[in-house]
Amino acid sequence: MRLQTRDLDKEAERTEDGIRAFQAYGQSVGEVLKQIDDERFIIKAASGPRYVVGVREKIPKKKLLPGTRVALDMQTLTIMRILPREVDPIVFNMLTDGKSN
Q: Which domain holds residue 75?
A: 26-100
- Is residue 17 included in any domain, yes or no? no
In angstroms, rounded to a whole number, what is the distance separating the alpha carbons of residues 64 and 80?
Answer: 12
Indicate whether this model's pTM tops 0.85.
no
Helix (H) or strand (E) holding 29: strand 27-35
Task: Assess if residue 62 is contained within a domain.
Answer: yes
Task: Say how far apart CA 94 and CA 38 lie, in whole Å.
Answer: 31
Q: Kindly report the CATH number assigned to the domain that includes residue 53.
A: 2.40.50.140
**More confident call, 38 vs 41:** 41
The per-residue pLDDT for range 66-90, each reduced to its tens digit, is 999 998 888 888 998 888 776 555 6
Closest listed residue to residue 63, CA positions, set 75, 81, 45, 43: 81
Percent of the chain with pLDDT over 90: 30
Q: Span 50-77, mean pLDDT?
A: 91
Amino acid at 47: S
Cα 71 from Cα 93, distance rounded (Å): 10
Could you tell me if residue 21 is inside a domain? no
